């Protein structure tokens, strides 16, 4: 009997003990969960503090770790940036808060809006493809495709827009995009990727995608971009590639004349020669040597075309346009280093051919060379430049796409431009951005020479 009562008591004891055992297990689980959560919180807190240290660091490698972390998040980057700032230790919090304020700064000017558009439409490999940029659009796609054969030239042109605005591959600035709240862009990263693409596509002879029927236009602009990137930062890794690009450009010139559209061509081409001369000007500013006969012969050829003996075909192509006169003025400034000996009708042609956004008058290339020539002639306060700049800004400011236009915000429509069907919207945005920078861009680019730490 005692044994039976003992057996009957066991389940009762078990039943009474079970809730306590379960409670103990749950308590252990809760404590373990709290410990794990606390450990994760502490780990994340330490990670945020480390990112805050990296964000405010002068070392580019540390800043790039923050870039990578924010870019991974896409539209959630702004929220993470806020957490980084809140987690910053006292000694770096002020700098982190300043960076966040600057990233959110609005409104932005026409040049910066154009750079934001370019940054949003850059391919992952660092290039700008004029035929396929709309794959990066958000919402209604941007119109105005161009021709893919100009990818190298337009990558160089877009890079020049960032360099002229003061951004190099060493820059650390970040911007929170207005059309996709929360997304962060890094202009320094945009420049690094573009430079990487150009260097990857440079051949052993120094050429950059120069093999097509209009390859020397591509190469001339790409060579100018490499020259200015080197001149702006004095980065030794860019010196040799930039020099080889200039050497190839000089070797490609037709004897006693200018440059053809392609390597091996036998007829000098006005636009190609103009871009080649700009590349040599940048090379000179950057202390990249080349034979002085190259610009001198090109000057003689351009001035011959710009004068009364201009061939009929050239007269027809450039009727009522001052492009040739502007190129002749620029080449003269470059070679003679003074303002004497220029074609008599040069300034008059520029004054009579002011920028105007009307049908059959929109020519971004002509406006660019005209702006360069008038600024060299009597800028920044002379009457010719002041009048020309006023008309240029009126044409471009009033027709730049604005915030209500969505993804196209910051860009210009290329459809009515003389060369818009070739270069497309990327050409329009990059070139107009550079043109608007003219009165300060060379200060940004070449006053920084000799400082690898340029920001």
**pLDDT value, residue 79:** 85
Domain ranges of the chain: 25-99, 110-446
Range 16-28 average pLDDT = 62
Tens of pLDDT along 61-77?
888 888 888 888 778 88
Q: For residues 409 and 402, what is the distance between their CA atoms, to the nearest angstrom?
A: 5
- Residue where the block lists tokens 């809730």: 19
Tens of pLDDT along 218-246?
999 999 999 999 999 999 999 999 999 99
Tens of pLDDT along 302-314?
888 866 656 555 4
Range 181-191 average pLDDT = 89
**pLDDT value, residue 24:** 65
**pLDDT value, residue 31:** 60
Contacts of residue 244, Cβ cutoff 8 Å, sequence gap at least 6: 202, 205, 206
Task: State percent of the chain over pLDDT 90.
Answer: 49
**pLDDT value, residue 346:** 47
Q: For residues 119 and 246, what is the distance between their CA atoms, to the nearest angstrom?
A: 27
Which is more confident, 319 or 1? 1
* Residue 138, CA distances (Å) to 21, 107, 181, 187, 401 in order: 57, 21, 12, 19, 15
Give the strand pairing for 174-176 and 184-186.
antiparallel
Backbone angles phi, psi at 356, to 5 degrees: -155, 125
* Residue 353, CA distances (Å) to 45, 111, 321, 426 in order: 62, 24, 6, 25
Cα end-to-end span (Å), the chain: 94
The CA angle 244-248-254, to the nearest 5 degrees, is 160
According to DSSP, the residues that pair with 176 across neighbouring strands are 184
- DSSP string over 171-235: ---EEE-SSSTT-EEEHHHHHHHHHHHHHHTB-TTS-BS--STTHHHHHHHHHHHHHHHHHHH--
Tens of pLDDT along 405-453?
789 999 999 999 999 999 999 999 999 999 999 888 866 555 544 444 3
Tens of pLDDT along 107-116?
689 999 999 9
**280 pLDDT above the threshold of 70:** yes
**Are the C-beta atoms of 170 and 60 separated by less than 8 Å?**
yes
**Are the C-beta atoms of 409 and 402 separated by less than 8 Å?**
yes
Choosing among 1.10.3720.10, 3.30.420.40, 1.50.10.20, 2.40.110.10, the CATH entry for 110-446 is 1.50.10.20
**pLDDT value, residue 344:** 46
Q: For residues 150 and 212, what is the distance between their CA atoms, to the nearest angstrom?
A: 9
Q: What number of other Cβ atoms are within 10 A of residue 321's Cβ?
A: 18
Most confident of 20-29, 136-145, 437-446: 136-145
Helices 77-87 and 60-73: crossing angle, nearest 10°? 130
Tokens read off for 445:
């680019």
**Are the C-beta atoms of 392 and 435 separated by less than 8 Å?**
yes
Residues in the chain: 455
Range 279-305 average pLDDT = 93
């Amino acid at each position: 009997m005692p044994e039976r009562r003992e057996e009957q008591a066991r389940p009762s004891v078990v039943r009474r003990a079970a809730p306590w055992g379960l409670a103990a297990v749950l308590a252990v689980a809760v404590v373990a969960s709290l410990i794990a959560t606390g450990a994760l919180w502490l780990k994340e807190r330490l990670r945020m503090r480390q990112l805050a240290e990296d964000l405010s660091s002068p070392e580019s490698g540390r800043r790039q770790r923050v870039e990578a972390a924010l870019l991974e998040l896409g539209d959630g980057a702004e929220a993470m940036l806020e957490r980084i700032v809140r987690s910053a230790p006292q000694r770096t919090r002020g700098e982190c808060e300043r960076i966040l304020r600057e990233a959110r700064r609005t409104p932005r000017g026409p040049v910066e809006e154009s750079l934001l558009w370019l940054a949003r439409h850059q391919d992952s490999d660092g290039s700008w493809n004029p035929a396929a940029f709309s794959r990066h659009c958000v919402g209604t796609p941007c119109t105005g495709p161009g021709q893919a054969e100009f990818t190298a030239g337009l990558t160089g042109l877009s890079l020049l827009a960032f360099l002229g605005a003061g951004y190099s591959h060493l820059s650390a600035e970040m911007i929170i995009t207005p059309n996709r709240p929360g997304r962060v862009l890094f202009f320094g990263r945009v420049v690094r990727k573009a430079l990487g693409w150009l260097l990857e596509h440079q051949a052993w002879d120094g050429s950059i995608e120069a093999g097509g029927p209009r390859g020397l236009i591509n190469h001339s602009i790409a060579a100018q971009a490499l020259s200015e990137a080197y001149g702006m930062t004095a980065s030794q890794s860019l010196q040799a590639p930039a020099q080889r690009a200039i050497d190839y450009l000089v070797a490609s010139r037709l004897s006693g004349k200018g440059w053809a559209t392609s390597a091996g061509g036998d007829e000098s081409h006005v636009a190609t020669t103009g871009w080649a001369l700009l590349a040599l000007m940048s090379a000179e500013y950057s202390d990249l040597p080349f034979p002085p006969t190259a610009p001198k012969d090109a000057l003689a050829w351009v001035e011959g075309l710009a004068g009364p003996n201009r061939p009929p075909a050239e007269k027809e192509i450039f009727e009522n346009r001052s492009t040739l006169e502007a190129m002749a003025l620029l080449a003269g400034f470059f070679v003679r280093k003074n303002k004497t000996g220029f074609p008599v009708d040069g300034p008059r042609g520029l004054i009579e051919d002011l920028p105007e956004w009307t049908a059959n008058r929109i020519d971004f290339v002509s406006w660019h060379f005209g702006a360069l020539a008038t600024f060299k002639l009597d800028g920044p306060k002379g009457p010719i430049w002041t009048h020309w700049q006023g008309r240029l800004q009126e044409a471009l400011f009033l027709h730049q796409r604005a915030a209500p236009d969505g993804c196209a915000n910051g860009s210009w429509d290329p459809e009515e431009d003389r060369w818009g069907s070739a270069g497309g919207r990327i050409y329009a945005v990059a070139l107009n951005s550079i043109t608007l920078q003219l009165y300060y861009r060379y200060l940004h680019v070449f006053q920084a020479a000799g400082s690898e730490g340029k920001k």
